[in-house]
Amino acid sequence: MAIITLTTDFGEKDHFAGATKGAIYSELPDVKIVDISHCVSPFSIPEAAYIIQNAYNSFPKGTIHIVGIDSELNPENKHIALKLDDHYFVCANNGIMSMICSEIAPEKIVEINIHDRIQTSFPVLDVFVKVACHIARGGTLDVIGKTIDNIKPIKNIVPYVNEEKTQIIGSVIYIDNYGNVVTNIKRDFFETIQKGRSYEVSARNYKFKKIHHKYSDVVNFETPEEKRHDEGRGLVVFNSGGFLEIAVYKSNSTTVGSASTLMGLGIMDAVSVSFLKTENRE
């Protein structure tokens, strides 16, 4: 049974997500449809890229992923389909796939060219569904598009490192449901630059000298529970996707607050890591 996933900024109020599912079922009644998210912030390429990168490889090989963000066709926003890591992706060529493609090279990319056969003002419904169902039936990418070599890059996907290798300057690419702030600094990249040195993570006026393994590392469990006051404490972790994340322990935007609300951090805000010189030891 084919699996088709949906990642969009449609939200839950409007008919768009439901109509897209209905169109898929009309073509393939036995297909399995999985919603990854319909709550991407409108037109947010970094958010969509982060979500799909961290979700797709939990699905079986051969899964087809429709990514419906900023998908209106125009001369600067063409539609593409690609095979990567034995998965298929159907989306606009607007940078969404560049985060995944920076780590795994696509096996094949095509620029979709079936638009002359389809009248549409809703490309996710009319074009992306047709392409996804074609692939689900065993169709090849060559039938629905012409091969291209490159995709459009996304800005600020790679953190900046100064010439002295003493500082990484990254940016916020995602804020999760808990208000945790995710940066574009990945663990492997961090460790390559760090080379065992001490460091300080800075975001606005907040500074952290330790990156924890998990959120509850900030809790001293030897202290009686009634004497702990850890909720609302700021911390830094590498999250499950391997991204540097600034968080608040047991955050809640309506009570203790969150990293985003308490620190005033939003999408594309700067987060830096400064490395300290290693002292000579006799």
Largest alpha-carbon pair distance within the chain? 75
The 8-class DSSP code of residue 124 comes to I
Tens-place pLDDT, residues 235-252: 999 999 999 999 988 888
Burial class (CB in 10 A: 0-12, 13-18, 19+), 126: middle
Task: Give me the percent of the chain exceeding a pLDDT of 90.
Answer: 74
Tens-place pLDDT, residues 19-76: 999 999 999 999 999 999 999 999 999 999 999 999 999 999 999 999 999 999 888 8
- For residues 135 and 250, what is the distance between their CA atoms, to the nearest angstrom? 42
Interacting residues of 142 by C-beta distance below 8 A, sequence separation 6+: 110
Tens-place pLDDT, residues 122-141: 889 889 999 999 999 999 99
Cα–Cα nearest to 8, from 54, 58, 62, 70: 70
Terminal-to-terminal C-alpha distance of the chain: 65
Measure CA 37 to chain center. Answer: 11
Measure CA 77 to chain center. Answer: 20
Question: What pLDDT, on a 0 to 100 scale, did the predictor assign at position 10?
Answer: 96
Question: What pLDDT, on a 0 to 100 scale, did the predictor assign at position 29?
Answer: 96
- For residue 281, name the pLDDT band (cuts at 50, 70, 90): very low
Q: Residues 51, 7: contact at Cβ < 8 Å?
A: yes
Q: Residues 253, 226: contact at Cβ < 8 Å?
A: no
Provide the pairing of β-strand 167-175 with 160-161: antiparallel
Q: Residues 131, 81: contact at Cβ < 8 Å?
A: yes
Dihedral, CA of residue 18, residue 21, residue 27 and residue 33, to nearest 10? -160
State whether the Cα torsion 101-168-245-225 is positive or negative: positive
Provide the pairing of β-strand 243-248 with 181-186: antiparallel
Q: Residues 252, 182: contact at Cβ < 8 Å?
A: no
Question: What pLDDT, on a 0 to 100 scale, did the predictor assign at position 120?
Answer: 67
Q: What mean pLDDT value characterizes the chain?
A: 91
